[in-house]
Structure 1
Amino acid sequence: MDAEPPNEQPPDRLLVIVEDDEAFARTLRRSFERRGYSVLTAAEPEALGVLLRDHSPHYAVVDLKLGQASGLVCVQALHAHDPAMLIVVLTGYASIATAVEAIKLGACHYLAKPSNTDDIEAAFRKAQGDMAGGDVAAPLDTRPTSIKTLEWERIHQTLAETGFNISETARRLGMHRRTLARKLEKRQVR
Structure 2
Amino acid sequence: MLSKKIEEAINAQINAEMWSAYLYLSMAAYCHLMGQTGMARWNEVQFKEEQDHAKILFNYVIQRNGKVTLSPIKAVPTEWKSLLDVFESILEHEQKITAMINKLFALSTEENDYATQSMLKWFVDEQVEEEENAQTIIDNLNMIKDNGFGIFMLDKELGARVYAQAAPLANSTL
Q: Structure 2 length normalisation: TM-score? A: 0.35
The higher relative CO (CA closer than 8 Å, separation ≥ 6) is in 2
Greater helix share, 1 or 2? 2
Greater strand share, 1 or 2? 1
